[in-house]
Structure 1
C-alpha cells in the first residue's frame, strides 16, 4: 500500500512538474494598434490545430529541463499565410522537440492582419514578434536562458515574419509601454523553413501578400516587407530550408534571400531538397525529408 501511495505521489509530482513548464504569457498590458470590437478568436481542431482571428497575442512557454539545458531559446512562428496559425503542426510540436535538445521554446500566437480589430493590419505581426523577443530577453534569468542566445524559427508566412524581424528588429513599430521595451528585439539567430520572403509579385505567395498588405499596397510598403531587399551585415546568422518542387511558396524566395545574405557576409546555411512540396513540418512520412531536422539540430548546436 505504501509503495502504491509513493508511486501515485511521485507520478503526481512529475506530472505537475511537466505541466508547470507550460505556461501562456500575454504580450501586452494594452495591445497597441487595436480597437475594441466584438470579434472572437477562432480555434479549429482537426488534423492540425488552427487558430485565427487572434485578439489577445501571447506565447506558450516550454522550458528545457535544467539537467540538459543549453540556455538557448527559440521563438517559434507558425505559418498559415497570415490568415491562420498552424499552431501545433508548426508550433508546439517543435517546441517539445527543441526541449529534448535542451533548448527552451516559445510558440507565438501573433495577431493576423485580416482581423477587423487591427488599425494598421501589416504592423500587428511585427509588433507582436518584437515584443515577444523582448519579453523572453527580459525573463531570461528566470527561465534559465542566456539573453544573447535567443533565436527565431519560422515556417512559411511565419518564416516571412521571422525574416522581417531579422531585418527590421530595430524598426520602432510601437511606442514603449514599459522597461521591457528598452531591450533589443534582435534575434541572435534565425531558421527559416519553406519561408515566404518577398512581397514582389514575381515570387511572393499571393495569399500571404494579400492578407498582410491588402489589395493595392504601395510600392513603399511592398519594398519594406520584401526582406531580400532589407538585408545588411547586421542580420543574424541564418538557416534556410526549402524544396525545389514547392508550388505554394516558390523556392526563389529562399534563393534571393540567400544571395542577399551572402552579399552582406551574413553567416548562412541553406539546404534545398528536390522533392517535398510545402508545409511538411517534420516530414516524417517523406523519405526525402524525414532527416532534415538533424541538419537543424546540428546547426543550432553551433549557434
Structure 2
C-alpha cells in the first residue's frame, strides 16, 4: 500500500517553537528510529475507495519520548489498517527534549490535537467520516494518545487558524502497551523524565497521569498489554481500565501473560501474534454501532 501524501501539521508557524541548530535524524537499525523532529507531519495511507469503511486512525509511534519507532509502530500499522478498509495516518510528533521546542511537555499534545483536526479537515478528500476518527498509540505514543483522549479540549496559547477550530476529540482510542501514569510506582521513568523533566511539580505529574484525568466524554478505548512487561508495567493499562469503567466508558482490555514490551505485531510470539484480530473485531464493531445510530 503506497503512501498517499505527507502533510505538515503547521504549514505556517509551528507553535511553542524556537530556532535552533538541531536537525532531524533518521537511523535504520532493525527499524526506522527518528529523533529530533523539527517539522511535525502526518503521513497518510488510504485504502481503496471501494473498501473504505469511513474510519481513520491517527497513529502515534512509541520511543520513550526520546525518539519514534516510525515504521515498527507507525507505517507498518497504517498499511495493516488499510487492509481492513481503514485510513492509517502516522503522526511524526515533536519530542519534548528538542532544542527547537520551548515548553517540552506541551509539544506532543499540541501536535496530536492538530493531527486530529487536520484529518477531519480533509475528511471529504480522503473518504473519511468525521465522526470515525480515532487515535492509536504504542508505549510513550500510548501516552500521547491517552493524553489526547483526556485533554483534547486543552486550549493552547498560540495563534489559531481555521483547522484549529475543528474538534480534536478522538472518537475512539487504541492503546498498545501504553504509558499512562506518571506515578513513580508504575510509570516508565524514561518517558516521565523526557516529558516532565527530572523534578516535575506535583501538579504536572497529576495532570499527565491520564488515569486521573478520565472524564465522562473520554472516548471508548481498546487496551492491550503483556503481564511480563518490565519496561511499562501492566498496571498502566489496569489503572486506566478501572478509571474508564468508573465513568461508564466502553472499554475492552486484553492482557497476555507473555510478550514483554515493544512487541509490535507480536510476530513469532505464539498466539500473541493474533492480537491484531482482536483490534480489527473491535474497530468493526464500533463501525457497525455507528452505522446503527445514524
Match of 2:268 among 269, 276, 285: 285
Unaligned runs of 5+ in 2: 287-294
CA RMSD of aligned residues (A): 0.9
Match status 1:71 vs 2:58: no
Q: Shift in Å at residue 271 of structure 1?
A: 0.5
Q: 1:136 corresponds to which residue?
A: 119
Q: Using the TM superposition, give the Cα deviation of residue 176 of structure 1 relative to its aligned residue in structure 2, in angstroms.
A: 4.2
Q: Give the total of aligned pairs.
A: 285
Return the TM-score normalized by structure 2.
0.96
Which structure 1 residue ranges, 5 or more long, are not aligned? 1-17
Mapped contact 1:176–1:182 kept (Cα < 8 A): no
How far the C-alpha of 1:67 sits from its partner, in A, is: 1.0
Q: Secondary structure at the match of 2:91?
A: strand
Query: Which residue of structure 1 lines up, in the alignment, with residue 254 of structure 2?
Result: 271
**CA–CA separation in structure 2 for the residues paired with 1:43 and 1:108:** 15
Please state whether the residue corresponding to 1:51 is helix, strand or coil.
strand
Provide the rounded CA distance (Å) in 1 between the counterparts of 2:99 and 2:144: 20
Q: Within 5 A, what are the aligned runs for 1:29-178? A: 29-178=12-161
What is the 5 A alignment of 1:216-231?
A: 216-231=199-214
Distance 1:139 1:174 in 2: 24
Aligned to 2:245: 262
Quote the Cα distance in structure 2 between the aligned partners of 1:261 and 1:42: 37
In the alignment, the residues of structure 2 paired with residue 234 and residue 177 of structure 1 have an alpha-carbon distance, to the nearest angstrom, of 24
2:197 to 209, 214, 218: 214
Q: Distance in 2 between matches of 1:50 and 1:166?
A: 26
Map Cα deviations across residues 107-147 of structure 1 (whole Å, 9 max, x no partner). Answer: 00000011111110000000000000000001100111000
- TM-superposed deviation, 1:23: 1.2
| 1:273/1:288 contact within 8 Å kept | no
Take 1:103 and 1:46, find their aligned partners in 2: how far apart are those partners? Answer: 29
Q: What residue number does 1:24 align with?
A: 6
Q: Write the distance in 1 (CA, Å) between the matches of 2:175 and 2:17.
A: 28
Q: Distance in 1 between matches of 2:231 and 2:22?
A: 29
Structure 1 stretches of 4+ moved >4 Å: none
Partner SS, residue 59 of structure 1: strand
- Give the greater-gyration-radius structure (CA): 1
- Determine helix, strand or coil for the equivalent of 1:228: helix
Cα distance between partner residues in 1 of 2:116 and 2:223: 20
Cα pair distance change 1:211/1:272, threshold 3 Å? same
